[in-house]
Structure 1
Amino acid sequence: MVEQAERTERVRVLPRLLVAVAGGAVLGLAFEPYNLPWLALLALPVLLIALRGVSVKGGIVIGAGFGIAYYAVLVPWLSVIGGDAAIALAILEGLFYGVFGAFASQALKLRLWMLWVPAMWVATEFATASVPFGGFPWGRLAWAFADAWPGRLAAYVGIPGLSFVIAFLGVLVYALVWSKQGVSRVGRGAALIAIVAVVGLSGAVPLSMDGNGKTVSAAMVQGNVPGEGLEPLGEARTVTRNHRDVTLQLQRDVAAGKVAKPEVVIWPENSTDIDPFKDQQTRTVIEEAVGAVGVPILVGAVLEGPGENERQTTGVVWDPATGPGQIYAKRHPVPFGEYIPFREQLLPYIKRLEMVGRQTAPGTSPGVVPINGVTYGDVICFEIAYDGVVADVVKGGAQILVVQTNNATYGGTGQPEQQFAITRMRAIETGRTVLVASTNGISGVIRPDGSIEHKSKQGTADVYVASVPVRDGHTLATRLGGWPQWILTGLGMMGAVLALVARRRQRPATPPAAKPSPEGVTV
């Protein structure tokens, strides 16, 4: 009987797994470079339909299939490093959605399932953004909505709150179309009204564009790099000279009256991979550019140390009068990209990891960088996706956000577009202008409402001077800080516990085994 039940379960799960895989692939299309955000409202209902009525084990398989397909479509750009790396990441992240599937399949039986399921989704996003090795928060629903009305809600409920709203809308769509859930006709009507209200009214949500009455002129320099993929890694001096040359051209344009003189110039991450404090040739190139424009340049520099065989990815304020000053060291380096966890154990078996080179040591202080009376919040590359890094610079008084990034490895893969969309959502969430400088990915200026003032093309040299507002005020999201994340994650965990308790109560009791009587008759 047990074997027959397991065989029946497998037969039921297989077609549902195929449905879930299709749903995961559809969700991946909601994000850049496809940019079809409303598909997110269809993908989650598809997953719930697949999960309805299955066991915990079936939920794990279905949820994992959904998650693996989702990340396979979302981050194929990791194949630049290696196809096995992209597959491994998709499987790893998919396992988190397997846990979601296990609990959500049981939570659908609860009275308040419409609350528990989206809260579980937020808890799942929190887990993927936290572990292992600091997490990978690239797959949050909120990131897909930079161009859609609900995205404006990030200024009030933050990124976790917006993911909850999107997941809740998906639950409402499921309730609307899946009558077997036991939702009455009145309930389905209420779900339709709620969907229209949330989507429609979010377009009218006000977003402040006002500063504190002060503006600053800033120049973003994209010097471009030679080659594609991993090729630029060996052209460090050329990259630095390219950024100098574009900066010198900027100064010529200023002298000719073509553009306004900036008060600060932003160079991208890895604009020099050679430590200018140790290499005189690199220092000379930087000082030539700084001396020409006559204003501070925030230089993206890789510095040696602090320990033996270590390095740090930094932003260095280089002043034309006083030289190098404050340094921000990247706090969240990328595992297997900038450092190798379990390095001594893995290197003998995975020779490709030798390309990583020295270990990147994380910084310890937020990137709060004052330059000429304006406080900038420096965030380097992938750090823009991590809530804590962004929250710390805003708490520290950042009036303008700066993203120094190096997308050279991922040109033309969709990764730069995804990161730029994440950056736009941070502008909405924080109510800050964001200045983006990339080596050759996407540089630009994002207004506090997430709209784009300037966006460079990939694989080209670009310089843009913008006059942007300096802002001290806070959005409701930045005032609330991490509370939405903790509350929603807590609700998700509570729903998971309640689902397991209800499952134990509903499980039929196993009758005691019959015992033979002394005469051999079963009693």
Structure 2
Amino acid sequence: MSEAEWTAPPVTWRARERAPALDVRDGWLPAWRRVIAGMAAGALLAGSMPPRSAWYLAPAGVAVLSWAVLGLRWRQRLVLGAVAGLSFFGPTLSWLIDFHPAGFAALLVLEVALFAGAMLLADPARQRWWTVPAALVALEAVRSRFPFGGFPLPGMALGQLDGPFAAAAPLGGSLLVTGLAAGAGAAVTALVVTEQRIRTLVLVATLTAVGAAGVTLAAPDGAPAGQLRAAVVQGGGPRGIPAVRADEQAVTERLFEVSNDLPPGLDLVLWPESSIGVTGPVTDTSEADRVAALARRVGATVVAGVTESESATFRNAAVAWGPDGRILDRYEKVHRVPFGEYIPARGLFEQLSDMTALVPRDAVPGRGPGLLETPAGPLGVVISFEVFFSDRARAAVTAGGRVLLVPTNAASYTTEEVPATEVAAARMRARELDRAVLQAAPTGYTAIVLQDGSIAGQGDLSTPELLSATIPLRTGLTPYARTGDLPVLLVAASALCAVPTRRLLHRRHRPTEV
């Protein structure tokens, strides 16, 4: 205990409620125990992320984080938030080092700054423990939108898919799952270290009962709309090769070779993103003729990822061939990968770093919801990076998609971090929207996910894979599909605004001294 704490005059119960609980120093650095706790909190959060997916580590991490920031002034919360953010994002973004070391460093600095900023929003010094999970919900909401449309990797909710909090996904999506997991951890700390244990216990019990009732009442109301006999194809091949250096023809040939073993009686065949690379529109190319022949031979709709190169741009599309071999519909990717499929402010960033070698051309953004009208039914589509954004999946489902297709390409990465995170995102979209998800990747992970988030089949990395299953088609919308993130964001904002609002009202009604 510091000298200031030993010599401070006694305070009343109400004064103690208003004062910082444990740390009254005005400096920037918190006590070393707090710094170690902040590092441990970030490491626990990282341990809950795919591919490890130890869901219980996230509530434990938030419990440690809540204790670590309890009683700290804003400067110290900022420092401790940066420490925890570095411990969290350092290992979970390390896959970027092989791809672009400077990009990794820049993104890490940004993400750590956002985490530190989130801890500024929390007000645990006044024993309002719920501000910590509310701040983490706000952090996830910001990361899914900023910068350049968002970069939500890793997403805190993606480690919760095998835990109890994922049951809330149809009600409030990944933000609600994050809030519940973080709230559980913060509540444990509140019960242990705060003086208002009875009030905290009553509040936790009330929130638990309301949450359980909400999850029960908000069960998906969708109805079965038949079944779909589907196959997803993975050609296999080497990993760690950027898309601009990949042998496009070799990728295509491997997919055709695996497709020779397609079983009879299929309704749908899904190929990965970038299955076919052509110059100009794919229509009337030899590659299109070969896919048409495959569709006629199998008697099924074939959806394949097509990259159409133009002089200074390219298009990333999912194209559907009907059982008769005709091209029926297409969807062009809307949410492009910044610094992967296009360079924002290209002229500026090319002066700072050599980006042209990795992204020589910008992708043309598509429009509208991802929906393909086919004989197999209306098929929702999100391409690769879009699976991390619930708004794109919601758009596809609300437009009429009865199943969700995810053609993707994670062959650029050498580790399983990104492929495993993509599968987790597909599982989260399945639970949020009550739709089965088919994900196809040229080198993995290819997966079949049922509407409850369970995995019906998953291939390995690099190997040729052919997965098939009969999956349910669904109609109807979950509460989350109807409302999106707005209700959860309003609750989080109310929790964060309650403290400064109460403080302002207290000052206005304080008696004037004469």
TM-score tier by shorter-chain length is 0.7 to 0.9
**Residue 460 of structure 1 corresponds to which residue in structure 2?**
463
1:141–1:166 contact (8 Å) kept in structure 2: no
Give identity over the alignment, percent. Answer: 26
**Residue 328 of structure 2 corresponds to which residue in structure 1?**
325
Q: Deviations over 1:444-489 (max 9, x none)?
A: 2111111111111111111122111111122222233333243134
Query: How far does residue 377 in structure 1 lie from its aligned partner after superposition?
Result: 0.6
Give, as a single letter, the amino acid of the residue that structure 1 aligns with 2:137.
Answer: V
Trace 1:114-125 onto structure 2 (pairs within 5 A): 114-125=129-140
Alpha-carbon separation, structure 1, partners of 2:25 and 2:134: 32
2:110 alignment partner, one of 64, 67, 92: 92
Structure 1 gaps of 5+ residues are 255-259, 506-523
**Residue 24 of structure 1 corresponds to which residue in structure 2?**
42
**Residue 491 of structure 1 corresponds to which residue in structure 2?**
494
Cα pair distance change 1:502/1:124, threshold 3 Å: farther
Greater mean alpha carbon deviation, residues 68-77 or residues 417-426? 68-77
Alpha-carbon separation, structure 2, partners of 1:77 and 1:135: 18
**Residue 55 of structure 2 corresponds to which residue in structure 1?**
37
Instruction: Determine helix, strand or coil for the equivalent of 2:236.
Output: coil
Give, as a single letter, the amino acid of the residue that structure 2 aligns with 1:441.
Answer: G
Query: How far does residue 387 in structure 1 lie from its aligned partner after superposition?
Result: 2.0
1:108 alignment partner, one of 124, 127, 131: 124
Query: How far does residue 188 in structure 1 lie from its aligned partner after superposition?
Result: 6.1
Greater helix share, 1 or 2?
Answer: 1
**Residue 438 of structure 1 corresponds to which residue in structure 2?**
441
Give, as a single letter, the amino acid of the residue that structure 1 aligns with 2:101.
Answer: G
1:384–1:390 contact (8 Å) kept in structure 2: yes
Cα pair distance change 1:470/1:22, threshold 3 Å: same
**Residue 295 of structure 2 corresponds to which residue in structure 1?**
290
Alpha-carbon separation, structure 2, partners of 1:302 and 1:264: 21
Matched, 1:66 2:84: yes
Q: Deviations over 1:232-271 (max 9, x none)?
A: 8321110011111111221xxx3xxxxx421111111111
Cα pair distance change 1:45/1:7, threshold 3 Å: closer
Alpha-carbon separation, structure 2, partners of 1:469 and 1:189: 42
**Residue 226 of structure 2 corresponds to which residue in structure 1?**
214
Structure 2 gaps of 5+ residues are 1-22, 509-514
Query: How far does residue 26 in structure 1 lie from its aligned partner after superposition?
Result: 1.4
Greater mean alpha carbon deviation, residues 66-75 or residues 443-452? 66-75
Cα pair distance change 1:280/1:372, threshold 3 Å: closer
2:172–2:484 contact (8 Å) kept in structure 1: no
Instruction: Determine helix, strand or coil for the equivalent of 1:84.
Output: helix
1:347–1:354 contact (8 Å) kept in structure 2: no
Query: How far does residue 320 in structure 1 lie from its aligned partner after superposition?
Result: 4.5
Cα pair distance change 1:231/1:453, threshold 3 Å: same
Alpha-carbon separation, structure 1, partners of 2:498 and 2:182: 15
2:281 alignment partner, one of 277, 280, 290: 277
Alpha-carbon separation, structure 2, partners of 1:191 and 1:41: 18
Instruction: Determine helix, strand or coil for the equivalent of 2:419.
Output: helix
Query: How far does residue 352 in structure 1 lie from its aligned partner after superposition?
Result: 4.5
Runs of 4+ in 1 over 4 A off after TM superposition: 5-8, 187-211, 499-505
Alpha-carbon separation, structure 2, partners of 1:268 and 1:197: 43
Q: CA RMSD in A?
A: 3.1
Instruction: Determine helix, strand or coil for the equivalent of 1:48.
Output: helix
Give, as a single letter, the amino acid of the residue that structure 2 aligns with 1:52.
Answer: L
1:13–1:58 contact (8 Å) kept in structure 2: no
Query: How far does residue 431 in structure 1 lie from its aligned partner after superposition?
Result: 0.7
1:218–1:467 contact (8 Å) kept in structure 2: yes
Query: How far does residue 386 in structure 1 lie from its aligned partner after superposition?
Result: 0.8
Query: How far does residue 408 in structure 1 lie from its aligned partner after superposition?
Result: 0.9
Q: Structure 1 length as normaliser, TM-score?
A: 0.84
Alpha-carbon separation, structure 1, partners of 2:24 and 2:107: 30
Q: Deviations over 1:175-212 (max 9, x none)?
A: 123x2x3233x346557867997999999899669752
Instruction: Determine helix, strand or coil for the equivalent of 2:380.
Output: strand
1:441–1:458 contact (8 Å) kept in structure 2: yes
